Amino acid sequence: MIRGLVMVLCMTADFDFRLDLTHRPRRLRRTAALRAMANETDLHVHNLIQPLFVIDGDGASEAIESMPGISRLTIPLLVQECRELADLGIPAVALFPKLDNSLKTDNGREALNPETLVLRAIRTIKNEVPEMVVITDLALDPYTVHGHDGLFDVQAGDLINDATVEILAEMAVLAAEAGADFVAPSDMMDGRVGAIREALDKNHFEKTSIMAYSAKFASAFYGPFRDAVGSASSAGTHLLDKRSYQLNPGNRREALVEVALDEGEGADVLMVKPAGPYLDIIREVRDATELPLAAYQVSGEYAQIQAAAQNGWLDLERCRDESLLAIRRAGANMILTYFARAYAESLRRT
């Protein structure tokens, strides 16, 4: 009945009626060509960084159940993946190791082994795919039995800041020796960017860049990542409490303080993590600095889009692309995203 009434009204409407409008923004949305001409934000493959998880051995990859389409890769498979990513135009990868639990200790000493997994992976990638920019994470969570990002004082229930920074600086030098283009401290310890810069320069690695996780929030969106690197299984929970070092999700001004400190200590690129729930922070950081800005679309953001799409509730490609475009629009120059390869492949199909 309602449909019939609408049809009658449309048939009898006075189509000569005109609103007295000076501005009609829809004029520039009328056709695809006009929309393209008026477009304000572009998303290119070269804006994307693919995070990769590496495991030891020469066998098959290991699927990560909580991250559909993402697997842990042995070094030979990692090299193959980097070749294919480079062919797709993706300029950089960020490496995260998953170690056997037998290598994990309270103090994470495996992180300083010159032959540890991630350093072997860096050397192999830079030898086999030299054009690929390699970013390596600096934090102790893959190496510790407790799953925290640094040395942990059990009695105090908190991390030991300065001793952790000393280890991170040593890790940075080892990564630079292996050929990493960027070291990326993700631990949120006070003073670590300055200490890392000093250690790199002292050891003649002035060309090695620092991508600082400057505004990393104590987010609930990290769960699948903790599965991927094994920090959840070693700690026995996804719900590691990292609020004594990661940022309070409600604190905007504190995030800007952290960003300013990292810039002052010599960071080359600043980062906001997570991305989607913190678009306002990305925008504020973009307005506060002239440095390049990265944002990390984290595992939980990826997993929720994948899960909704698998249930038929969302269009996977459209939601993926919209989420990435929003991060670019907020001001990020580069986006770490598990969608990087899929996005690049979709462009090849068009």
Can 216 be counted among the known catalytic residues?
yes
Dist. CA 299–CA 274, nearest whole Å: 9
Q: Which alpha helices (DSSP H) does 129-251 contain, by range?
A: 161-178, 192-202, 223-229, 231-235
Angle at 273 between CA 184 and CA 225, to 5 degrees: 80
Candidate list 98, 104, 126, 216, residue with the active-site label? 216
Can 98 be counted among the known catalytic residues?
no
Candidate list 104, 126, 242, 273, residue with the active-site label? 273
Strand partners, 210: 183
Name residue 110's amino acid.
E
> Which residue spans within the chain are E strands per DSSP?
48-54, 62-63, 71-73, 92-97, 133-138, 152-153, 158-159, 182-185, 209-216, 269-273, 293-297, 334-337
Print the SS3 string covering 58-69: CCCCEECCCCCC
Print the SS3 string covering 118-134: HHHHHHHHHHHCCCCEE
**Which residues are annotated as catalytic?**
216, 273
